[in-house]
């Protein structure tokens, strides 16, 4: 089981009705879980603390984020990050000083996105820095309940201006899904993804070879999202509680 967080388990600082008990049901059924989030505003420990406050106990190895993937990528390639991310996320990249050059790392910087920072990142790319996108989501459901621009819009601006294509480390990158499954020693065909984003969560998971991907009608979901991207969801359900019902009913055939 791979579960998205924002829009599936919680919105803002509030758990979605039935989500916490649904996770408990999945654990009681003996299904290994990984929480795969494209959230790039909060560090790893803060996300785990938030889930713990909701009553969801999560081990360090059970949470996968693009920021953690980026740190490993930078170490593997020996690169120093030029960060265009939210200030809360910057400490995740401390102590990285590679000898093989620089890499522009783009996440959801929120209010920190401005022309000066975007232009500095652009100039780094023109000068030859590697280009890494933590995610390419179009939108997310903000704390006020409305949709807001997500990282993808700013990645697209830098891509257009620099004529450079980024390495994408979060969803919908197949490697992100597969790294979560490798962490569980689980084959893709035996895995199910649950998300509120028909493009990054659902179509991305199915393109990565997962056995099923369920789209929930919570979070950023809007009517007919299931018709906008291919592959289409295996099923569309009301929320994580309904997704859990589907999983427990169909687990023998996934």
Evaluate if residue 224 carries a pLDDT over 70.
Answer: yes
Contact 230, 241 (CB under 8 A): no
> Residue 42 pLDDT > 60, yes or no?
yes
Instruction: State the chain's mean pLDDT as an integer.
Output: 95
DSSP string, 156-223: HHHHHHHT-PPEE-STT-HHHHHHHHHTTT--GGG-EEEES-IIIIIIHHHHTT-SEEEEESSTT--T
Could you tell me the pTM of the whole model?
0.90
Q: How many Å apart are CA 36 and CA 244, to the nearest integer?
A: 17
Position 254 scores a pLDDT of 56
pLDDT band at 145 (very low <50, low <70, confident <90, very high): confident
What local confidence, expressed as pLDDT, does residue 157 receive? 97
Report CA-CA distances (Å) from 163 to 70, 159, 196, 198, 216: 22, 5, 31, 27, 35
């Amino acid at each position: 089981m791979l579960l998205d967080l924002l829009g599936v388990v919680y919105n803002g600082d509030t758990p979605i009705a039935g989500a916490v008990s649904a996770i408990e049901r999945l654990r009681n059924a003996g299904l290994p879980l990984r929480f795969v989030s494209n959230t790039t505003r909060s560090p790893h420990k803060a996300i785990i603390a938030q889930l713990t406050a909701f009553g969801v106990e999560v081990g360090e190895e059970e949470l996968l984020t693009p920021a953690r993937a980026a740190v490993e990528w930078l170490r593997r390639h020996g690169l120093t990050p030029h960060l265009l991310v939210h200030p809360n996320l910057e400490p995740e990249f401390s102590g990285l000083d590679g000898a093989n050059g620089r890499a522009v790392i783009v996440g959801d910087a929120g209010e920190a996105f401005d022309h000066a920072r975007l232009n500095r990142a652009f100039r780094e790319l023109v000068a030859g820095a590697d280009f890494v996108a933590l995610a390419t989501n179009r939108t997310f459901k903000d704390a006020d309940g409305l949709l807001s621009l997500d990282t993808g819009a700013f990645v697209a601006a830098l891509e257009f201006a620099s004529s450079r294509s980024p390495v994408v480390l979060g969803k919908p990158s197949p490697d992100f899904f597969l790294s979560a499954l490798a962490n569980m020693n689980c084959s893709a065909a035996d895995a199910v993804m649950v998300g509120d984003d028909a493009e990054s969560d659902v179509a991305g998971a199915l393109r990565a070879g997962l056995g099923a991907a369920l789209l929930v009608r919570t979070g950023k979901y809007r009517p007919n999202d299931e018709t906008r991207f291919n592959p289409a969801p295996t099923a569309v359900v009301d929320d994580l509680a309904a997704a859990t019902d589907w999983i427990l009913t169909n687990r023998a055939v996934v």
